[in-house]
Structure 1
């Protein structure tokens, strides 16, 4: 956890580790209870299990006034994502932590501190390294939204609001609908529903009461089966429309439903006719805000004569009223069937804040994303896309000049393209960071050797030998530098030892053959005919030459 001071009035802590997050649990629950704008998808029980699946990318901003021991007054859960643009450069974007699963997103605040806390959050986020901030499905008052977005300089950032209308059916997913529940189900039927809906619902609920139809609620022994039943019916209905995204959506929903059941926030009723499941609902339960939230449904598309959705929603609403719940929330989307349940409308906001130049703030990657970027750059390097890989390594090092794996990677890449001087610079930095790596010393020696700096190369190879005495490529490279300095006897000794051994290093290929060829060449140097043809090898000749 790190702390960022925001003047005397508000401090923002950045929480990135699970053990630190656990310490926030009590404050999170306390703020959730007192915040009138809080909703299930930012509650601890729903959101934290979802966040845990995004290890290394989620982070929580927590604000408190005054001293470090003051209680937190606001929490903003976020998630970092790393992407690559069309030019091959990496960039970061920030999403709300519940993105891809939560119908609503937002922050939780003590109401009296909300404005100042969101201003502090905005100032903090504006200084981070990212190029796009996605504020999707934001369920917050305009006052809170403006307090947050007002901290982003118009000189650097731009804001764009967008709609969420499905082109296939013209459903607007920024419109949200919920039914306010009266004290009794009869009152709901008589005063809220229309005549036709009321009559049909009563008639089919009587079929449930008589046993002609039955509704079973998922429990510990059936929830896995019931989740799969729901998802399979949903897939049959929507699979073709979701296309390539289907499996990812199914996987996310399966995980969310399982986690929610284990956390005690999922109610999953299934309507049966005999042994045939006709449909199921996934409904989230929020006992703090006294709300049920309808998440997804599946139904047998061949059971046309039975209003499966009406029966299951009616059943859930009846139970909600009997248990003192105040709201039945149909969440996002203005599908026509929702209007039959006596709903009122609200909206979520969808907007993006982005840098005008398209690059990360400060032209630096967020530190939390560097290892992810490195893995992608490594794949690009291995695929032979050297220019893009070099750009990636340089982006990493611009944010962290001491990133060891990036230093090694760019050193390797630059050496392969013949830029030995810059490769050497990176490896000199790296060997100071990781002096216990024989590979780093070996590669450092190779770069010194390529630049004909053989004394330095010999020292580097000796360091590598001290760490990995049996690494054959280092010994061969050492012999080369010794030979280049006319330390022929030492080179011959090393090569003779190599040839006489059973080399264990698979990657060296024809190293034995190279060693044999080099050994033969060195032995020829000792012959008088060879020295006569190459007088520079004669020590006396070199002394005379040096005198002039």
Structure 2
């Protein structure tokens, strides 16, 4: 399988016909993976990608698609990390991928392999709508030696009447061929009576009730009514969430109405709207998805506007050939009155076992977002966090102009904090380092460097501290600066070799060890570590030579002797 990474809208729109073919072929596709929905949604995403799979690189048509989004988050003590999320998160009712059924197994493996070429700490699989078979195959493609997988618990939800709602449960109603059969087979006696009464009440003139449907011609008025009603009922309870839903809806819903995939019934009492539903239509799969709804809480009747609209919607769905009435997340008791069934749609997360980004660096695609976060910290006076963000950016792109400029500004602002002899501050930082207070030691080293950027010992010790913390990229930057400050230091080159070896940059590691040995031919540690890299590269004879030289310099070098013995044992299976 061959994977292309699509990240430009012109390229995405060129996939329209191919996407629709795969969508039609995939029995696990859902409305939120339809072409017109996902293309519209991605218009407002900051950093999105579509992984597109072909059977062969030379093929013209793709057989699978996976939309994803890349984000950055700041974690105290670590700095920025990357999060990958599925394409429709967090607005879509369901998320997932599309694939031709016959290509599913190979496509899932190809997707997993490609995702591991990005740099991320977490891969969030929110509301992932996928068969158990596909989901198992996808999760297993992330090796347990490198990744953990877990279910993410949703926030507890206790309603005002004491219902404990499980939002892992999604509720849907299978529909019959005709409405009367459906009512008889799916409703209990009381609900059946109430449903028939509701539908009679809708047409009884004395009730002054009516239902209209939003159209492209009326949508501006109708959506404005919905936004106002929804915000009064829900938005004011959670203003930030409410703003997100309304902003996203204003972007998505007009295009979906014009496309003909929104059913928006409005229940009126006289000239006042008292209930409105937003329902997405998937004619291909004969499915209706109740997405958003709201009602006028001041409107009082024996039957609620919501119940009346559901009854009307169910009848409309059956009369128009739909087979599924999807009521979305949450096992509210009223849903079961309508003859519903349940399915579990969980939130899952795949994470690196290291607790850091893959490759221990920011993803290059996210540097713009990272810079935005750095500027946010800087403007709010958190110079330490802003500087950390800049250093993370520069570890990926050492010529990044904005990060270079901002870091210089921050260091200039911080520089006056250090008073007195820098050597005294350096020695104090070393003592904190020895005592295990890494945060204080790091701050001390950086204080010295802020006034003496070429202070070799501070740069060298900071590199070792960052290595101790697991920040390999930061350590590499520091040790390079130490070498610039003192290019004759064999120990700095040896440390550089150790860091590059941990980064699996073996050629650079060997070059650093060789330079350390050239500067100090008696540097036994550099010789031993050089031997370790040569062993990893399968160059056992050269490794033995390095170990022998280390032992000749220091006959009591026990670790070199152990490494030499291990190399000899390995050579039993290595051709001479």
Structure 2-normalised TM-score? Answer: 0.68
Report the counterpart of residue 159 of structure 1 in structure 2.
149
**Pair 1:188 & 2:182 matched:** yes
CA separation of 1:103 and 1:12: change in aligned 2, threshold 3 A: same
Output the CA distance in 2 between the equivalents of 1:125 and 1:274.
Answer: 55
1:275-286 to structure 2, matched below 5 A, reads: 275-286=271-282
Task: Show CA shifts across 1:354-383 (max 9, x none).
Answer: 123322111111112101211222343455
**Pair 1:57 & 2:47 matched:** yes
Output the CA distance in 2 between the equivalents of 1:282 and 1:385.
Answer: 43
Task: Show CA shifts across 1:80-112 (max 9, x none).
Answer: 111111226111101111112111110011001
CA separation of 1:250 and 1:129: change in aligned 2, threshold 3 A: same
Larger gyration radius, structure 1 or structure 2:
1
Task: Show CA shifts across 1:172-225 (max 9, x none).
Answer: 111112111111112112222222222222222123234431101112232222
Q: How many residues align?
A: 414
Q: What's the offset of the Cα at 1:118?
A: 0.7
Q: What's the offset of the Cα at 1:60?
A: 0.7
Report the counterpart of residue 329 of structure 1 in structure 2.
326
Q: What's the offset of the Cα at 1:30?
A: 0.7
Other structure's SS at 2:84 match: strand
In the alignment, structure 2 segments of 5+ residues that lack a partner are 416-449, 456-484, 486-576
Aligned to 1:287, which of 273, 276, 283? Answer: 283
Q: What's the offset of the Cα at 1:251?
A: 2.2
Task: Show CA shifts across 1:37-78 (max 9, x none).
Answer: 111111112222111111x41111111111332421111111
**Pair 1:104 & 2:94 matched:** yes
**Pair 1:136 & 2:132 matched:** no
Aligned to 1:24, which of 7, 10, 15? Answer: 15
**Pair 1:405 & 2:396 matched:** no
Task: Show CA shifts across 1:241-292 (max 9, x none).
Answer: 4254332233223333233223322111111111121111111111111111
Output the CA distance in 2 between the equivalents of 1:110 and 1:302.
Answer: 49
CA separation of 1:166 and 1:48: change in aligned 2, threshold 3 A: farther
Output the CA distance in 1 between the equivalents of 2:375 and 2:272.
Answer: 52
Report the counterpart of residue 248 of structure 1 in structure 2.
244
CA contact (8 A) 1:60 1:77 kept: yes
Report the counterpart of residue 505 of structure 1 in structure 2.
none
Output the CA distance in 1 between the equivalents of 2:271 and 2:238.
Answer: 29
Q: What's the offset of the Cα at 1:412?
A: 4.4
Output the CA distance in 1 between the equivalents of 2:412 and 2:290.
Answer: 59
**Pair 1:362 & 2:359 matched:** yes
CA contact (8 A) 1:12 1:120 kept: yes
Other structure's SS at 1:324 match: coil
Task: Show CA shifts across 1:492-511 (max 9, x none).
Answer: xxxxxxxxxxxxxxxxxxxx
Output the CA distance in 1 between the equivalents of 2:119 and 2:232.
Answer: 42
**Pair 1:48 & 2:39 matched:** yes
Q: What's the offset of the Cα at 1:304?
A: 2.5
Report the counterpart of residue 233 of structure 1 in structure 2.
229
In the alignment, structure 1 segments of 5+ residues that lack a partner are 1-9, 424-450, 452-548
CA separation of 1:414 and 1:241: change in aligned 2, threshold 3 A: closer
Report the counterpart of residue 215 of structure 2 in structure 1.
219
Other structure's SS at 1:158 match: strand
Output the CA distance in 1 between the equivalents of 2:202 and 2:376.
Answer: 58
**Pair 1:351 & 2:348 matched:** yes
CA separation of 1:201 and 1:167: change in aligned 2, threshold 3 A: closer
Other structure's SS at 1:358 match: coil
Which moved further from structure 2: 233-242 or 362-371? 233-242
Other structure's SS at 1:138 match: coil
CA contact (8 A) 1:414 1:422 kept: no
Output the CA distance in 1 between the equivalents of 2:290 and 2:246.
Answer: 17
1:105-120 to structure 2, matched below 5 A, reads: 105-120=95-110
Output the CA distance in 1 between the equivalents of 2:253 and 2:380.
Answer: 39
**Pair 1:72 & 2:28 matched:** no
Output the CA distance in 2 between the equivalents of 1:80 and 1:155.
Answer: 24
Other structure's SS at 1:140 match: coil
Other structure's SS at 2:43 match: helix
Other structure's SS at 1:137 match: coil
CA separation of 1:195 and 1:236: change in aligned 2, threshold 3 A: same
Output the CA distance in 1 between the equivalents of 2:287 and 2:392.
Answer: 47
Output the CA distance in 2 between the equivalents of 1:379 and 1:45.
Answer: 34
Aligned to 1:269, which of 265, 271, 274? Answer: 265
Aligned to 1:122, which of 71, 93, 112? Answer: 112
Aligned CA-pair RMSD: 2.2
Output the CA distance in 1 between the equivalents of 2:373 and 2:184.
Answer: 60
CA separation of 1:20 and 1:422: change in aligned 2, threshold 3 A: farther
Other structure's SS at 1:315 match: helix
Aligned to 2:85, which of 81, 95, 100? Answer: 95
**Pair 1:374 & 2:374 matched:** no
CA contact (8 A) 2:178 2:318 kept: yes
Output the CA distance in 2 between the equivalents of 1:422 and 1:328.
Answer: 69
1:187-206 to structure 2, matched below 5 A, reads: 187-206=181-200
Q: What's the offset of the Cα at 1:420?
A: 7.1
CA contact (8 A) 1:278 1:299 kept: yes
CA separation of 1:220 and 1:68: change in aligned 2, threshold 3 A: same
Report the counterpart of residue 526 of structure 2 in structure 1.
none
Output the CA distance in 2 between the equivalents of 1:229 and 1:89.
Answer: 44
Other structure's SS at 1:49 match: helix
